[in-house]
Structure 1
Amino acid sequence: MKISIISFDYWNYDCHIAKKLQEKGVEATHINMGTYRYKNFGEKIYNAASKIFLNRNIKHVKRQEYVLEYLSKIGFQDQILVLNPHTLDYTTIAKIKSYTNHLITYLYDNLGRYPVENKLELFDQVYSFEDKDVLEHGFDKITNYNYLSNKPKSSQKNHQDLFYITSYDKKRIKTLRKIVSKLAQLHIKYKIVIVGKQVWKEKLNRFLTQNSNFKDVCLIKKPISIDEVLIEYEKSDVTLDLIRDGQEGLSFRVFEAMALEKKIITDNPSIVEYDFYDPQNILYLDKNLANLDTTFFESPYNKLPNDIFKKYTLDKWVETVFNLRKDNCK
């Protein structure tokens, strides 16, 4: 069986899908648009001018050409999975469809953030982690996945109570401001990193000078690697997860915490509906943060039952999305 995964792998999550399929004997290929680079400096200058004067991103076009050229080399695929189709034009997806009889997409984000309804008719199957979109459009529901091997907490050395990394988002920063103030009152040792471009950093710096509790928040311009993030998770007892406007589905943080046996604090109300929810491991924040206290940090992690843990692994995810059975993998 031949399967291709097409994506712009921002955080190095999608490559794990191809690796897991290969472990199962599938001839799997990951076509990562993020690996496309300008051929020379002149092409970079030309694209910059095109964006300014023509409002046309040549690199966006070149990335899509790269995908089609890659497919032309590897030929027809039994299945193709496109992750987040907003990164591709309608005509490109139509051409991708000609390389398979079963074209799938998984929406990492809700339709409110990336309205791609006009492209979805091209897909034979649409998966989403957002309950609202699933109910309104009849998508197949699936969560994000745990791509890590289980690493018991007992094998890790912790140095801080809580870690959080986030891109700049107005809603998150507003919530984070309240949380940091409460953590300071509770004498909780934390590390918080906010990633943003220079304009965001300037706004944040002005904000921080007016909020002394934010003095320990780290501001960086470029994202750090997922490997570095995981090191920080391992050093922490608790991870923080704050949702963006319109989000209902569970982020990868929830499943990373699951693999590393970390507690998680979140403002996502949907988390209490899942079978892995345990108030000893997961703190769903009250609006006024009244339930955020030292008790949650002091109590031990309650290990998940094995059957529930396996349900959210990447192994189970690929079996579901690609309808795999032992007799059709090779």
Structure 2
Amino acid sequence: MISFDFWNYDAHIVEELRRKGMDAHHINIGAYQHESFPARVKNTISKILLKRNLKNELRQEMILKKLNKLGPQDQILVINPELIDREFHFQIKKFTKRYIAYLYDSLARCPAGHLVDMFDEVFSFDKKDAEKNNFKLITNYNYLPEVNEFKPAKYDLIYLGSFDKRIGTLSKITTKIEELNLSYNCVVVGKKTWTKKLVQSTSEITFTRKRIKHRDIPSYYSEGKVLLDLMRDNQTGLSFRFFEAMALKKKVITNNPTITDYDFYRPENILVLKDDLSNLDKSFFEGTYKELPTEVHEKYRMENWVETVFKLK
């Protein structure tokens, strides 16, 4: 598997393959670092003067170096292939019998249309992209075990996300939460969080460059009664929040209307926000969580995802 694994979700795929007895490897291009400070300075100058990102080129060369050491592979999965230039895809494809891709972003956000002909099969979590381009639709996966013991929630609402345009919506929601006399803990992660002063907000949102470690995310979410999910622009696919909430048996508030199309949607568990937030009230927080059938949990487990994508069934 080749991916830019910023939040460390992709690693679960390799772990599951290994659990099944496969000889699986993960080339994480997001983990690549400059060899020295001068190399970092050289790349900065190159980006400014030549509009050329040397780090991206070195990442891709790293992929080929690692594949040369590993040798031929039965299958290679690339997650979000737009991060790799077409010429490198040609080289990578030589190492495998089956070259597949998973798009965990919409084509509108991360254009990869010019690369899809490179792959034997393309999977996408975005329903519109899948229908329009004849991709195989597949959601993200539930990588967590189902909880049976419940701890008292510390906050009414919990949010964790990257620093982007969703901050404006987040600010409006937290303001509404304060008006309802409810509590919240919202953490926004990103390199540009220093620009938080540009965000017109009186809410107590935590901005940080340091992301929460992946292994700590479940315990972070367990502190909330309800998890908040906010869509990115031009994207309708389901984030990992829904599947983490499913495992942790937490309610979700979201502005993604497509959630109502899925079989695990229950209005008692998932509130789809109106644009004016007029349906955001205390009653959703006060209601009880509706348990999902075992077969629904099984359908979205990591094991099923891996068996489907790699045709192991």
Give the TM-score range, shorter chain.
over 0.9
* 2:189 is equivalent to residue 195 of structure 1: yes
Q: Aligned partners of 1:258 and 1:51: how far apart in 2? A: 43
1:166 aligns with 2:174: no
Cα distance, 1:186–1:305 mapped onto 2, change above 3 Å: same
Match of 1:328 in 2: none
Give, as a single letter, the amino acid of the residue that structure 1 aligns with 2:194: K
In structure 2, give the amino acid aligned to 1:191: N
How far off its partner does 1:206 sit? 4.3
Matched residue, 2:37: 41
Deviation at 1:313, TM superposition (A): 0.8
1:75-112 deviation line (CA, Å, top 9, x unaligned):
11111000000111101111111011110000010111
Aligned length: 313
Structure 2 residue 98 is matched with structure 1 residue 102: yes
Residue 165 of structure 1: how far off its partner (Å): 1.7
Task: Return the letter of the residue paired with 1:270.
Answer: T
Q: Give the counterpart of 1:218 among 179, 201, 206.
A: 206
Residue of structure 1 equivalent to 2:197: 205
- SS of 1:126's partner is strand
Which residue of structure 2 lines up, in the alignment, with residue 322 of structure 1? 310
Distance of 2:199 and 2:310 partners within structure 1: 47
Q: How far 1:177 sits from its partner (Å)?
A: 2.7
Secondary structure (helix, strand or coil) at the match of 2:114 reads helix
Secondary structure of 1:161's aligned partner: strand
Matching residue within 11, 18, 24 for 2:20: 24
Q: Which deviates more, 155-164 or 279-288?
A: 155-164
Q: Distance in 2 between matches of 1:79 and 1:72?
A: 15
**Deviation digits for residues 212-236 of structure 1 (CA, Å, limit 9, x no counterpart):** 3x1x211213333223332220111
Task: Report the CA distance between 1:267 and its aligned residue.
Answer: 0.5
Q: Distance in 2 between matches of 1:207 and 1:139?
A: 38
Q: Spell out the pairing of 1:84-95 with structure 2 (5 A cutoff).
A: 84-95=80-91
How far the C-alpha of 1:58 sits from its partner, in A, is 1.1
- Structure 2 residue identity aligned to 1:48: T
Unaligned runs of 5+ in 1: 326-330
Give, in whole Å, the separation in 1 of the partners of 2:151 and 2:84: 41
Cα distance, 1:302 vs. partner? 1.3
Preserved contact between residue 125 and residue 138 of structure 2 (Cα < 8 Å): yes
Say if 2:167 and 2:199, in contact at 8 Å, map to a contact too. no
Q: CA deviation at 1:46?
A: 1.7
Aligned to 1:236: 224
Counterparts of 1:51-200 in structure 2, within 5 Å, are 51-152=47-148, 154-170=149-165, 172-198=166-192, 200=193
Give, in angstroms, the shift of residue 309 of structure 1.
0.6
2:237 aligned partner: 249
SS at structure 1 position matched to 2:268: coil
- In the aligned structure 2, how far is the partner of 1:312 from the partner of 1:278? 16
Gap runs ≥5 in structure 2 = none
Partner SS, residue 101 of structure 1? strand
Aligned CA-pair RMSD: 1.4
TM-score normalised by length of structure 2: 0.96
Change (3 A) 1:206 1:70: closer
- 1:137-185 deviation digits (Å, cap 9, x = unpaired): 1000000111111123x34342111111222222x22322321222111
Q: Counterparts of 2:124 and 2:155 in 1: how far apart (Å)? A: 34
Q: Of 4, 8, 21, which aligns to 2:4?
A: 8
Aligned to 1:283: 271
CA distance in 2, matches of 1:168, 1:320: 32
Q: Distance in 1 between matches of 2:190 and 2:60?
A: 26
